[in-house]
Amino acid sequence: MREKVIRAILDSGENFISGEQLSKELGISRTAIWKHINALREEGYNIESVNKKGYRLAEKPDDILSSENISYNLPTEFIGKKIVHFDTIGSTNDYAKEIGNKVRGGTLIISEQQTKGKGRLGRSWKSKSGDGIWMSLIIKPKIDPYKAPFLTLVAGASIVEALSNLGVDVLIKWPNDIILNNKKICGILTELSAEMERVNYIVIGIGINIKTLDFPNEIKEKATSLYKEGYKISRADIVRQFCIEFEKLYKGYILDDDKENTLDICRKHSAVIGKQVYIVKNNKKELVKCIDINENGNLIIKENNGDIKEIMSGEVSI
């Protein structure tokens, strides 16, 4: 019912909708309508009420990451059409894995706060309340499991495109970091549930720092947020743009085996191609030159002795 009330108000746009009309359309009492309106106001919706006219949204509720705000008129086929929104949760990736087998592909889990946000290899991801976009996308492609890691690049390229549509130019530090002004603004954690030859589901976890101004000491030097870099952009707009861009690249990859569009974006916006970087693996650190990202999404590097190698996973530090 809460969803129906907010949809009716969104549908009436700049016009007022009276309590009487709402109560008739939705089949509930005017007191019940009034209770819903108050609850929505507490969630952050700025609903104006004028005597004899009724209710309308005083401003676009663009910073609430609820299903109504993001999925409403979202021009995608399935990505982001179902959203589960929490105030707080351990990790959206862990929750996505709990429900992965039961929900439709394209379902997005979003939380205002994570108490156990995760990075790769057991690292932690700082996810304070309201500071960022902490979300996990569940997808169910019919592909062999070995094709799954490329989806991290598809997600990275989609974030680059989404932010670029909103006026922010970012770079990708292969394979899973998004960089703004030389600092990490976003990390991606892809997890897979599969059998030998079949993917059950894939969870793509994305953390984007939006409003954080003070980072904890251990990441102060290397992390940043959109606000910190002077960009005030609505979180809901970013999520919507991400859904649109991801669906395009994802469909291309899954249905037409098109990797080029994703690779093009990853190469053009690479923070590492053409640079000297350290490759860190198994506690060893080696200075190499990054040459390219190949058609499989792997990094091509040149070692000091001139050998050319393909790197499939690992850490790159600039």
Nearer to ligand BT5, 19 or 119 (CB): 119
In the complex, the smallest distance separating the C-beta of residue 23 from ligand BT5, rounded to whole angstroms, is: 39
In the complex, the smallest distance separating the C-beta of residue 67 from ligand BT5, rounded to whole angstroms, is: 17
In the complex, the smallest distance separating the C-beta of residue 136 from ligand BT5, rounded to whole angstroms, is: 5
In the complex, the smallest distance separating the C-beta of residue 220 from ligand BT5, rounded to whole angstroms, is: 10
Nearer to ligand BT5, 47 or 190 (CB): 190
The owner of tokens 């947020």 is: 225
DSSP per-residue codes, the chain: -HHHHHHHHHHTTTS-B-HHHHHHHHTS-HHHHHHHHHHHHHHT--EEEETTTEEEESS--TT---HHHHHTT---SSTTSSEEEEEEES-HHHHHHHHTTTS-TT-EEEEEEESS-B-GGG-B----TTTEEEEEEEE---S-GGGTTHHHHHHHHHHHHHHHHTT---EEETTTEEEETTEEEEEEEEEEEE-SS-EEEEEEEEEEE-S--S--GGGTTTB--TTTTT----HHHHHHHHHHHHHHHHHHHHHH---HHHHHHHHHTBSSTTSEEEEEETTEEEEEEEEEE-TTSPEEEE-TTS-EEEE-S-EEE-
Nearer to ligand BT5, 177 or 247 (CB): 177
In the complex, the smallest distance separating the C-beta of residue 4 from ligand BT5, rounded to whole angstroms, is: 29
In the complex, the smallest distance separating the C-beta of residue 154 from ligand BT5, rounded to whole angstroms, is: 16
Q: Give residues in contact with ligand BT5 (CB under 6 A).
A: 91-93, 114, 117-121, 123, 125-127, 134-136, 176-177, 184, 187-189, 205-207, 209, 219, 223
Contacts of 60 (CB under 8 A, 6+ apart): none
Chain residue whose CB lies nearest ligand BT5: 187
Nearer to ligand BT5, 207 or 297 (CB): 207
C-alpha pair distances (Å), 273 with each of 130, 131, 270, 300, 303: 34, 31, 6, 9, 14
CB atoms within 10 A of CB 15: 10
In the complex, the smallest distance separating the C-beta of residue 50 from ligand BT5, rounded to whole angstroms, is: 40
Nearer to ligand BT5, 91 or 270 (CB): 91
Nearer to ligand BT5, 47 or 172 (CB): 172
In the complex, the smallest distance separating the C-beta of residue 244 from ligand BT5, rounded to whole angstroms, is: 19
Nearer to ligand BT5, 107 or 127 (CB): 127
Nearer to ligand BT5, 54 or 297 (CB): 297
Cα(166)–Cα(267) distance, integer angstroms? 20
